[in-house]
Amino acid sequence: MEEELNNNPKNSRRQFLKKGLIAGAGVAMGSGLIAAYVDASAAETGEKVKVLTTDGEIMEVDRGLLKLPRVSREESHKGIPGRKFVMVIDLGKCKNARKCVEACQKGHHLPQSQEFIKVYLLQDSEKTSPYWFPKPCFHCDNPLCVSVCPVGATYKRTDGIVLIDNERCIGCKFCMTGCPYSTRVFAWKHYPEFDEDKEPYSPEASSPGKEGTVSKCDFCPDLIRVGKIPYCASACPMGVIYFGDVDEDTVTNGTETFQFSKLISDRAGYRYLETLGTRPCVYYLPPVERQFEVDRGFGDLDETIKDRYKDTPYSKKNKP
């Protein structure tokens, strides 16, 4: 397998995506590049995981030694070579368990009041069915937030990811009004959660956060580099969120893997507010063949979370 990886990088990436997104066993490879991803003080476990370096090479390191790579700010502008990321969200399966929100907040060291992924209760019109709508950043191919930024603090990478560099951000919030999807959040003060993260800042990790700057969902490129899918996708108990690569034509939620183009065409995938011309990289599968009643989404939630939905047309209609 090592031979195959080295001789045919393109194929190797496909292999990697199919097998490797869920970290698989393999053969160790020695390289200085690995150093960036390895915490030397940690103990080895003997289990190897595959790692994608900034050059698009695949490396394997011991799981016990692995820490999430924090690439430099300069490096974070480049994007992972040869990749184009995409997300597919299956609305038929979402029951507002909010595990995606919690995992994302934990992974990015966010306070309760900042959500990179939000779950809405939407109902397109009076007679149509309500549904739960998880909304990350759409990482648009025509991102207005990037166009309006006066200092280049937010940028579109070659792999399709839109990131924010909070060292550059001046906090003018123009991008927040530019985004038609209310995706971006602002640090209105210094939250204690920011201090939990002791690693140096990298736009790829969107952490530690910084008061007076804008941040948002980043598609977790630091996880992608170590062959994982974003926090939200792996945390979802229903497997609602699929993550993958358009060029590889593959998406996975960690347990199921689909051919992206076939999934979109078979299940009538669409992009939210297509008319705005922002060309999102997040696709939705319509809320058909539901696995849950909409009301299940109110299940075990905190009262404060339930309160969010009390003014929606659906909740008002069903009030006793």
Partner 1 sequence: MELEPKNPLRDFSPQLEKTSIQGYVWIVFLLAVIGLGAYAFFEQLFKGHEVTGMRDNVVWGVYIVNFIFFMGISYAGALISGTLHLFKTAWRKPIIRMAEFITIIALLIGPCFILLCIGRLDKLHYLVFFGRIQSPITWDVIAITTDIFGCFIFLYLSLLRDLAVLRDYELLQLPNWRKKLYKVLALGYTGTPEQQKRLNRATDIMAAMVISIAIIVYSVLAWIFSVTLQPGWHSTIFGPYFVIAAVYSGSAVLIICMWVFRKVYHLEAYITQKHFVAVGLIMLVLAAFFGYFTFSDYLTKWYGSEKNDELLIQLLFKEFYWPFIISNYIGVLLPLLVVGIKKFRTIGNITLTAIVVVIALWLNRYLIVVPTLESPYLPIQDARPEWLNYTATWVEWSLTAAGVAIFCLLFTLASKFITIVPVTGVAGEEKKEEVLL
Chain residues that interact with partner 1, rule: CB under 8 A: 118, 120-122, 135, 144, 147-152, 168-174, 176-178, 180-182, 184-190, 210-214, 273, 276, 278, 304-305, 307-309, 311-312
Q: Minimum Å distance from CB 13 to partner 1?
A: 33
Q: Which C-beta is closer to partner 1: that of 292 or that of 314?
A: 314
Q: Residue for token digits 């971006």?
A: 184
Query: Residues of 172-184 as b/e, b for ≥16 C-beta within 10 angstroms?
Result: eebbbebbebebb
Least distance (Å) between residue 72 CB and partner 1: 17
Minimum CB separation from partner 1 for residue 251, in Å? Answer: 24
User: Please, which residue, 135 or 228, has the CB nearer to partner 1?
Assistant: 135
Question: Which CB, 47 or 211, lies closer to partner 1?
Answer: 211
CA nearest 244: which of 231, 228, 265?
Answer: 228
Shortest Cβ distance from residue 185 to partner 1 (Å)? 5
Letter string b/e over residues 239-262, b meaning 16 or more CB atoms within 10 A of that residue's CB: ebbbbbbbbbbbbbbbeebbebee
Tokens of 228: 């994982």
Name the pairing type of β-strands 282-285 and 85-90: parallel
Q: Which residue number, 38 or 276, has a Cβ lying nearer to partner 1?
A: 276
Dihedral of CA atoms 67, 71, 77, 82 in degrees, nearest 10, equals -60
User: Side-chain half-sphere of 180: how many Cα atoms within 13 Å?
Assistant: 13
Nearer to partner 1, 20 or 143 (CB): 143
Closer residue to partner 1, CB minimum distance, 259 or 312: 312
Nearest distance from residue 118's CB to partner 1, in Å? 8
Which CB, 124 or 293, lies closer to partner 1?
124
Report the nearest approach of partner 1 to the CB of residue 198 (Å). Answer: 22
Q: Which is nearer to partner 1, 174 or 292 (CB)?
A: 174
Cβ 64 to partner 1 shortest distance, Å: 39
Shortest distance in whole angstroms from residue 187 CB to partner 1? 7
